[in-house]
Amino acid sequence: MREIQKTKEEWQKELTGQQCFVLFEKGTERPFSHPYNDNKEEGTYVCAACGTPLFSSDTKYESGSGWPSFFSPIASGNVEEITDRSHGMTRTEVVCRTCGGHLGHVFNDGPKPTGLRYCMNGAALKFEKAE
């Protein structure tokens, strides 16, 4: 049971079509299409649907994948990892623990210290600039 539960219609009133597609239809934006991929400002990336803090700019790095990438979430309890066997492969999906929104996938080809690459859709995130 998620902390925040809304109908598809409720989410559509609050989010853009692209955000709804990515977050609640498990869609993926085109690589290199979101401004967060190149964002170098300091701050926090939160869930675009519910505002849960997900990633710090301190853990963001340039992966070359075309999507914002991080080597660690802010808190492991803020994201949930789920086995994804869609598209004829096995991957690890990352969702917001609070609302269940699809964020992207995590892979084992990231930098130290974790060796992980949290490859996130920019449409699933909102950036809160540090003050």
Choosing from 94, 119, 123, 124, the catalytic residue is: 119
Torsion of CA 90, 1, 49, 21, to 10 degrees: 50
At 64, list the tokens. Answer: 């070359």
To the question of pTM greater than 0.85 for the whole model, the response is yes
Q: Is 20 marked active-site?
A: no
Burial of 131 (0-12, 13-18, 19+ CB in 10 A): exposed
Domain-embedded: residue 95? yes
CATH number at residue 123: 2.170.150.20
Residue positions in the annotated binding site for Zn(2+)? 47, 50, 96, 99
Domain that holds residue 100: 8-129
Domain-embedded: residue 2? no
Number of folded domains that form the chain = 1
Domain-embedded: residue 3? no
Domain-embedded: residue 96? yes
Using alpha carbons only, give the angle 113, 100, 50 rounded to the nearest 5 degrees. 90
Which residues, in sequence order, are CB contacts of 99 under 8 Å at separation 6+? 2, 3, 4, 5, 6, 23, 47, 49, 50, 52
Per residue of the chain (131 residues), give pLDDT as tens: 789 999 999 999 999 999 999 999 999 999 999 999 999 999 999 999 999 999 999 999 999 999 999 999 999 999 999 999 988 999 999 999 999 999 999 999 999 999 999 999 999 999 999 98
